[in-house]
Amino acid sequence: MLMTGSVLAAHGLTLGDVQGDAWIGMPLDLRIALRADQDEAIAAGCVSADIYYAEALQKTPRITVRAQHLRLQLPDVVTEPIVAIQIRSTCSASQMRRYVLLADLPPGISATQVPLSTLPDLAPEKRTP
């Protein structure tokens, strides 16, 4: 029988450290370490995440649950130097954890090589009276 999403055995789910980097001009692809006991099933559907580039909420990321980690993928390129991730688990006991990453340019790329379309608009806002 086919199932959508993976199921983990877990009585007490613990979200660990972030593995991976946030690179300006690149899509986001991160893993978060999972530690779990063995009495309860954790499905990808009971975990949700909000991702912000600076203060702008991004589209819902693709979430994949594996035995050792939770994988977050977002095809939209990182456009801000601060990436905030808020993860909620509603399996067994409700839990939330927030991560803040400082994005940088990929190794070997200088600021002059990043397409301007991937950078935020820094023009001052026009105010209307």
Q: Looking at the domain assignment, is residue 116 inside a domain?
A: no
Average pLDDT over residues 55-68: 90
Q: Are 18 and 32 a contacting pair, CB within 8 Å?
A: yes
User: Which residue range(s) make up the domain with 100?
Assistant: 17-106
For residues 36 and 71, the model is more confident at 71
pLDDT at 111 over 60: yes
DSSP codes, 22-61? -BBTSEEEEEEEEE--SSSEEEGGGEEEEEEETTEE-PPP
Helices and strands: H and E segment counts in the chain: 0, 10
Q: Looking at the domain assignment, is residue 82 inside a domain?
A: yes
Q: What is the pLDDT of residues 63-94, one digit of tens each?
A: 998 878 889 999 999 999 999 999 998 776 67
User: CATH code at 68?
Assistant: 2.60.40.1220
Average pLDDT over residues 6-12: 43
CA atoms in the 13 A half-sphere facing the CB of 56: 11
Which single residue is written with the structure tokens 């959508």?
Answer: 4
Average pLDDT over residues 93-100: 87
Residues 40, 42, 46, 51: is their CA dihedral positive or negative? positive
Q: Looking at the domain assignment, is residue 128 inside a domain?
A: no
| pLDDT tier at 39, thresholds 50, 70, 90 | low
Average pLDDT over residues 86-108: 86
Q: Looking at the domain assignment, is residue 30 inside a domain?
A: yes
pLDDT at 3 over 50: no
What is the model's pLDDT at position 124?
55
What is the model's pLDDT at position 82?
95
**Domains identified in the chain, total number:** 1
Q: Looking at the domain assignment, is residue 120 inside a domain?
A: no
